[in-house]
Amino acid sequence: MRVLVVEDQSELADDIADGLRDQGMGADVAYDGAAGIEKALMTGYDVIILDRDLPRVHGDAVCATLAAAPSTARILMLTAATAVSERVDGLNLGADDYLTKPFAFAELVARVRALSRRAPAAAPVTVRGDLVFDRARRRASRAGQALSLTRKELAVLEELIVADGAVVSAEDLLERVWDENADPFTRTVTVTLARLRRKLGEPELIETVVGSGYRLL
């Protein structure tokens, strides 16, 4: 899952992004509304966490712009305002959910995951042969045996499952599971896939398509 955090309080924005990365998500940051729009229109994010009171371009204008764009990204709007009318205004602009500051990080993560499951391709539970992947509970099993996967391994497996047999390149995995700061020359994807393969066991479930990427059999 790839998330964009649009928040002008840089320390808060960075803390949110770091926390999301610890949860196995790819997270990018924009510190004003104009940068948020630019990044959101250039990258296919699953969820956009959008502060309402932003400099340069107000969060309301950012929300309306993104809601009108040809994107499946879900918008979680953040605000210090607690009035019901403020929340209604944000939802009417196109936000999918609303969270008031201050908030518990665990609730933010839960809302981000809930929003990502609203995407058309995001079935709550996917079964592929003897492999079962539960997006809601963030767990997987094979032949009835629970798999002990790290957050990044779960995220890579999720991308391969969503692709439904199509080839996913290493570059796509790096972009979707990590973030814009990931080194394109790193062996992170290769190492993570090797660990994932071992944990999935036999017979092999992930095929390497030479020169193209990987796909789930």
Tell me the domains of the chain and their CATH numbers. Answer: 2-116 (3.40.50.2300), 125-216 (1.10.10.10)
Predicted model pTM: 0.64
| Residue 83 neighbours by CB distance under 10 Å | 10
Interval 157-175 mean pLDDT: 87
Interval 83-95 mean pLDDT: 70
Interval 174-203 mean pLDDT: 84
Q: Quick one: what percent of the chain has pLDDT higher than 90?
A: 44
- For the chain, the C-alpha Rg in angstroms (whole number) is 18
Distance CA(124)–CA(91), nearest Å, equals 24
Whole-number pLDDT of residue 107: 95
Distance CA(21)–CA(31), nearest Å, equals 18
| More confident: 56 or 180 | 56
Whole-number pLDDT of residue 123: 58
The alpha-helical segments, DSSP class H, found in 25-70 are: 33-42, 59-68
The residue assigned the tokens 């999918």 is: 96
Tokens representing 185?
């020359």
- Angle CA 195–18–65, to nearest 5: 110
Per-residue model confidence as pLDDT tens digits over 183-193: 766 788 889 99
Whole-number pLDDT of residue 86: 65
Interval 1-16 mean pLDDT: 95
Answer yes or no: is pLDDT of 44 > 80. yes
Distance CA(97)–CA(99), nearest Å, equals 7
Distance CA(174)–CA(183), nearest Å, equals 9
